[in-house]
Amino acid sequence: MWLRSCPPLAVWLLVCCLNVGSLNVYGQQAGTAEQRPLTPAITLRVGVVAYEEFHVEHARFQQWLHQVSASMNPPIRFQLTTGSYSEIAHWMKQGSIDAVLVTGGGFAALGALDQNANEFEYIATLDSQPATGPWASENRKLAGFHGLYQAVCITNTNSTIASSADLSAMAQQGKLRVLLVDRRSASGGIVPRLALQEIGVKIGESDVRYLGSHSQVLQELAQSSGASSTTTIGFVWDDASVKVPQLLSQLRKIEFPELTQRPIAHDALVMRQDYPHFDELSAIIQRQIASSINSPFKRLESGKQPYVALGQSAKGLGIEVSQLLRKDMRGVGNMLVQAYRQRSADNPFRLALVLSGGGAKCAYQVGAVSEIEGAIAELNARNQTNISIDLVVGTSGGAINAVPVSMEMSVDKAGQQKWQEVWLELDQREIVLPSRGVRINIGIWIALLQVAGLIALLRLLVRDPARRRIRSAQWISALGGIELALVLIPFTPWSLLGHNHLLHHLWLWLSLGGQYTAITLLLFGGISFVGNLRLKRQSAAVQKLRRLRTGLLLTLGILGLPLLQMGVMFLGHATLSSGDGMTQEIYKGFSGLVGDVPSDAVTVGNSVMKLEQLSENLISQGLVKRDLVLTATAIAKNRSSLPSDLYFFFAANEDQPQPRYGTRGIDMQRHPEQLLNIVLGSSSIYPVFPAHELFDVPNQGDRIELVDGGFAHNAPLEAAVLWGATHVVLIDAAPAQLRDGTNLADSMLRGFGHLFQQSQLSDKRSKDAVMVFTLESRFEPKLCVLDFANVLVEQGIYHGRQDVIRALRHQDNFPPDQLLPPFIVTYGQPRFEDIVAPVKSVLLGP
């Protein structure tokens, strides 16, 4: 309408709008033409095997990757991660990485053997650079590319060995000791064994030590004394001395022609053949290598043949590809040392110990942790490292052990002995203590069973009814007196019962109502004596009627008391045990650990005060020296916003960042008096033991009831991961057992087990985030959750120690004749850093 009334103005406005719009569109197009935002078209995930002092070569590799990335537009994105050989090999085989820079020995084991030849493809070899040390040959010191190097044999300057010819004589006399780097190391393992074999020297595993690094071999040789009855030699790569030049005056090279004749191919760049861009990227890399005279990589003329030959030689020596998913303690230690040496601000190292639940089975953890602490101390002494357990996480029975470990009781022999004594003094008769009514019922029922058994026995042995009644009264009274004496006299029968846990279960059940069984038998015997006197004056018919009445009463008692017991237990009591015995044992045990032996026992009336005092002492005296987390389940709470699964944490290291627990985390520094109450709550196997109440935690006015932390976190890995753990040692005292559902009872247990496992999913997911070394308990004979008897506990501690010490052991759920390393390794996922060149500008033509 307005266009008709003002046509000139309308046309002018329309023209202006069109011009402005045209300018905006043109400007955008021009800008796009001048610089088009591009994203990398190819992404390659690359792993680097980190070995001793690999940082220099790592920097060269990063620079080269950047050059390759920049050679294309859009650039190639490289995602780089580092790890031990086992980590890289696992990720490569799982497809988590696409390519790897691996040592020659590592490539030989990874896939250069004939049966795996089509899985991993050799791309190029990294320059080992001209040697500068005195042990390398003159050719190795020449300028230029060096894709091959050699192994050398080194000994102490005081050694009497002059040449390789002397080695055979020393070996035959049993006086030769050999230091190697690793079974998979080419220069420090495979080639030396081949050379020794060639001159007729056969060495057993008892004569060999694997030290994990070339420098460590040289340091050990420098410290070896010529006065020893044995002579020590070591094998390293030909330029190893540049890392420890201060040792050269104490070491000398042994001429070994057989080593010189076996050149070793240096680190190889290897790619998976099923990588989607394999052909394209291989061509790009080869062009980059050919176009640069200073390229750190070249493809050997012989291709991957040297690596294949090395792998076949290793196989001939019996050195198979190591088990990636299982390790012994030495293998675990080597991986920890490698990770510790790689640590940086961007790649920290934090070792956590996670102790699962399992009741009495957690005695296994006492022995296992003690040996692990010793192994770590030996690692540190041998490798000049400072590895330690930085974080301790415990749940249920593991919470009881977590506190002593956080106090560093497990570090030395004296502390370990105290810790072990606390466990040996635990008494299942005090811990599993039902209410008085339940115990009376048990006692009467067991007494009735014994009376019925004696009557049946006497019917066979004594034919005369009158004499039988007299013998019955005598035997029942005598049995009652014996059992009363056993109750009143301090007596611990565990050693007599041996290691059969079923006998211990039977004794526990008998002892729960022992005094009431004795009293019942004495009363029954006394009544029998009085009844016999009266029966003498009565007719045979009346006597028969009385016998029938006695039999009926016994039958009703034996059959009816269990029904009454079930009603009393399920309807009259909240839990099986009162929990008072557990409270007393925890208080007594932790008092003994800190040397504060109580003058008076803890009772129902003073238990809260006593536990709070002892808890405050543990915290205020600085006895907790490691970061600590205890997990527990809040089965009841007065605030619905409070989570059910709780992490109670204490930061012993103030420099460590706070954990990322959110509302689930409760700082024990704000509630130091609650430490042992939390331990009791976490270890309360509900409904065997009652919940433990905490008031004003986490905030004023709050009330929570804590029970078994294993309900939600029986192996609380999530707690360790959320507090920055990079490596975790998990000691699982009660691993899940396989069930085949052969009957209804087994199927029910199988179903409940599945439901329980579903509640553990957060910890299972956390297992994929970091490297976890899991040690699963194994008991021979069997140990149950409530087997708190010193002989069974001692056996559990022994098994824990032995499983850490042994290189191989039997494993549950595997054939009995199959031996495996004890630790199960979970590698987690690689953490990548991006290496990608800037996007280049692209100018569009007219």
**Per-residue pLDDT tens over the stretch 307-325:** 988 888 888 877 665 567 8
Please enumerate in sequence order all residues whose Cβ is within 8 A of that of 449, keeping only pairs 6 or more positions apart, or say none. Answer: 558
- Indicate if 139-265 has the same CATH topology as 43-126+268-316: yes
Question: Which token pair is 494?
Answer: 């565990």
pLDDT at 741: 61
Largest CA distance in the chain: 143
pLDDT at 35: 44
Please enumerate in sequence order all residues whose Cβ is within 8 A of that of 802, keeping only pairs 6 or more positions apart, or say none. Answer: 367, 809
The mean pLDDT values, 10 residues at a time, for the chain of 846 residues are 42 41 40 45 90 73 92 92 86 91 82 57 94 95 95 93 86 89 89 93 84 88 76 95 94 94 94 93 93 91 90 78 79 89 86 94 96 96 91 95 96 94 88 85 92 89 83 90 87 78 82 90 87 67 74 88 84 80 85 66 69 89 95 92 93 88 94 94 88 92 91 89 95 76 65 60 77 90 83 93 91 77 91 88 54
Statement: 43-126+268-316 belongs to CATH 3.40.190.10 = yes
Statement: 139-265 belongs to CATH 3.40.190.10 = yes
Sign of CA dihedral 756, 759, 763, 764: positive
Residue spans of the domains in the chain: they are 43-126+268-316, 139-265, 326-343+351-420+752-826, 436-572, 586-713
Across-strand partners of 667? Answer: 649
Give 793's Cβ-side CA count (13 Å radius).
21
Q: Which residues of 52-91 are buried (b: 16+ CB within 10 A; e: fewer)?
A: bebeebbeebeebbbebbebbebbbbbbbbbbbbbbbbbb
Q: Which residues of 285-305 are buried (b: 16+ CB within 10 A; e: fewer)?
A: beebbeeeeebbbebbeeebe
pLDDT at 758: 58
